[in-house]
Amino acid sequence: MIACLVTHPLDLAKVRLQTASTPGQSLVSMIYQIITKEGLFKIYSGLTASLLRQATYSTARFGIYEFLKEKYVETTNNSKPSTAVLLPMSMVAGALGGLVGNPSDVVNIRMQNDSSLPVDQRRNYRNAFDGIYRVCKDEGAISLFRGLTPNLVRGVLMTASQVVTYDIAKNLLVDQIHMDPAKKSTHFSASLLAGLVATTVCSPADVVKTRIMNDKGSGGNAVKILTSAVKNEGVGFMFRGWLPSFIRLGPHTIVTFLALEQLRKFKLGM
């Protein structure tokens, strides 16, 4: 949630770029457009939903991954599990996190993109909880799980690429370059590498997920949305907003792991 507060404007710009009907706009011009046309505070549109998403999705995936890893270390007395062991753990954690966080993710994407829609198409959710209530009331509770499949795929890819890359990078930095495992510079370097890998691996699933959750016309039909996007924009649409995704996910990953390491240091829930 701390990381979310830092990077929310970048996440908002990323969602707008991914749902734009015409490609080519830059991150900076999108943020400038939001500020000039909608107002300065609109760069924090949908913040409550974004915070709720982190409180559900990220809490679940990081918590489950650390729990599974801890149990494995206790059982085997192996303090440095191999990649073959960490990957299945991270995939299970990512899938469960995606499931838990899907409702808040649907509301998050809709709130972030609302101001870019024509006035008669806007949903005008007051906050995350109002959004969840309105979705259940107007569309049925099942709509809170729109885009679940790509969200589960993204949760698996994100967690596997993020936490496993972080653990591997941290071990390499400590073992090969002899960096201090307790220093923030080690945590910073490992998390930066994790952010780069995670952005590249997750970009296609992230774009597809965003399109499905925000869509109104096709009832959330993933095949129809994908076919239409490839036909009109080409396969490259799956990497739409890669740079803003990295600019957002890089700092987000760094702040997340720095916070996690401090939680671990002071034994707060870790």
The DSSP-derived string for 119-161 is GGG----SSHHHHHHHHHHHH-GGGGGTTHHHHHHHHHHHHII
Q: Burial level of 42, CB count in 10 A (0-12/13-18/19+)?
A: middle
Q: Is residue 224 part of a domain?
A: yes
Q: How confident is the model at residue 264 (pLDDT cuts 50, 70, 90)?
A: confident
CATH number for the domain harbouring residue 143: 1.50.40.10
Residue span of the structural domain in which 76 resides: 2-265
Within-domain flag for 203: yes
| Residues 126/85, Cβ–Cβ less than 8 Å | no
Q: Does residue 226 sit within a domain?
A: yes
Q: Answer yes or no: is pLDDT of 23 > 70.
A: no
* pLDDT > 80? residue 222: no
Q: State pTM to two decimals.
A: 0.81
From CA 157, how far away is CA 90, in angstroms rounded? 9
Beta carbons of 203 and 236 less than 8 angstroms apart: no
The answer to whether residue 95 is domain-embedded is: yes
Q: Convert the pLDDT of each residue in 44-96 to its tens digit.
A: 988 999 999 999 999 999 999 999 999 999 999 988 899 999 999 999 999 99
DSSP 176: T
111-124, pLDDT tens digit by residue?
988 888 889 999 99
The reply to whether 139 falls in a domain is: yes
- What sign has the CA pseudo-torsion 243, 262, 72, 59? negative
The answer as to whether 56 is a domain residue is yes
Eight-state DSSP code of residue 201? H
Count up the domains in the chain and report the number: 1
User: What dihedral do alpha carbons 30, 32, 34, 39 form, nearest 10°?
Assistant: 170
CA 203 to centroid of chain Cα atoms: 10
Note whether residue 31 is domain-resident: yes
Encoded amino acid at 50, one letter: S
Residue 270 resides in a domain: no
